[in-house]
C-alpha cells in the first residue's frame, strides 16, 4: 500500500513549479488523510530539502487545526488545508466554478503541468489579471501576454486559429487598448479546456479522491 501511495504523491513533486500550490493544496491535504506512520513513511522518501519543508508545513497545519478546534483562531479561505468533498464536487458543474476556487484552480494547474499542457490555463489567468489592471498599465502588460502566449514561436504559445491570432495582434498594436484586447483568444482557450483537459481532470484520481473520498 505504501509503495502505491508513494508513487501517487511523488507525481505531485515531479514539477518544481507546482510545489508551492500543492503544499497549500493537494499534497498536504492528501497527506493529512493518512495515519501518522504512513505520513512519515511517504515523506522519508523525499530528498532532505523537501522533507524538511513538508514536515514543517504539516506541523504548522496541525497546530492551526488544533487552535481552530479550541476556538482560539480562525483559518482564512487561503489557509484552508483541504476543501470538503461537497465543495470539490461543485467543480464539475462548470469550468468557471472550478477556476473561481483558488484551491480548485491550483489543483487543475498541477494536473495540467503533469501533462505538459498548462499554457491555456496560464494564458486564461494572465488575461483575467490583465482585465483588472489600471488603464495606464495595460499597454505594457498586453505586449507581455502577446509575446508569451500568442506570438509566433512564443514560449507558451496557445493553439489559436490564424484569425484569432491576427485579431489579437491588431488589438495589441491598436492605440486603444482596453480590457477586451484578448477576449477572442481567451474564449478560444477556455473552449479548448472545456472540451478536453477540464473533462479529463474531472476523471482524474487527483479530483476524484478529493470529491469522492468514500470511493478510495
Q: Is 188 exposed, middle or buried (0-12, 13-18, 19+ CB in 10 A)?
A: buried
Which stretches within 25-72 are classed as H helix?
Answer: 26-33, 36-43, 48-70
CA–CA distances in Å: residue 56 to residues 25, 62, 124: 15, 10, 33
Q: How large is the average pLDDT for residues 153-171?
A: 96
Domains defined along the chain, listed by start: 1-82 (no CATH), 83-216 (1.10.167.10)
Give residue-wise pLDDT tens across range 83-114: 999 999 999 999 999 999 999 999 999 999 99
CA–CA distances in Å: residue 126 to residues 19, 119, 122: 20, 10, 6
Set of cell numbers at residue 38: 504512513
Q: Determine the angle formed by the axes of helices 183-195 and 162-173, rounding to 10 degrees.
A: 150
Set of cell numbers at residue 135: 488603464
Give residue-wise pLDDT tens across range 63-79: 544 443 343 334 344 43
Question: Mean pLDDT across the chain, nearest whole number?
Answer: 78
Rounded distance between C-alpha atoms, residue 206 and residue 213, angstroms:
11
Give residue-wise pLDDT tens across range 166-202: 999 999 999 889 999 999 999 999 999 999 999 999 9
Amino acid at each position: 500500500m505504501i509503495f502505491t501511495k508513494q508513487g501517487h504523491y511523488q507525481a505531485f513533486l515531479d514539477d518544481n513549479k507546482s510545489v508551492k500550490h500543492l503544499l497549500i493544496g493537494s499534497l498536504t491535504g492528501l497527506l493529512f488523510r493518512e495515519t501518522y506512520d504512513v505520513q512519515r513513511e511517504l515523506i522519508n522518501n523525499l530528498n532532505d530539502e523537501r522533507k524538511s519543508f513538508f514536515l514543517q508545513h504539516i506541523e504548522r497545519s496541525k497546530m492551526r487545526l488544533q487552535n481552530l478546534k479550541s476556538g482560539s483562531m480562525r483559518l482564512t479561505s487561503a489557509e484552508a488545508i483541504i476543501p470538503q468533498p461537497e465543495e470539490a464536487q461543485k467543480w464539475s458543474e462548470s469550468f468557471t466554478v472550478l477556476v473561481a476556487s483558488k484551491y480548485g484552480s491550483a489543483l487543475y494547474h498541477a494536473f495540467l503541468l503533469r501533462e505538459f499542457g498548462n499554457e491555456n490555463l496560464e494564458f486564461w489567468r494572465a488575461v483575467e489579471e490583465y482585465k483588472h489592471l489600471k488603464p495606464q498599465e495595460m499597454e505594457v502588460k498586453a505586449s507581455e501576454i502577446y509575446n508569451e502566449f500568442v506570438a509566433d514561436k512564443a514560449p507558451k504559445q496557445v493553439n489559436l486559429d490564424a484569425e484569432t491570432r491576427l485579431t489579437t495582434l491588431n488589438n495589441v498594436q491598436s492605440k486603444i487598448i482596453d480590457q477586451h484586447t484578448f477576449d477572442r483568444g481567451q474564449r478560444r482557450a477556455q473552449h479548448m479546456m472545456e472540451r478536453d483537459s477540464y473533462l479529463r481532470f474531472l476523471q482524474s484520481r487527483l479530483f476524484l479522491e478529493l470529491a469522492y473520498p468514500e470511493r478510495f
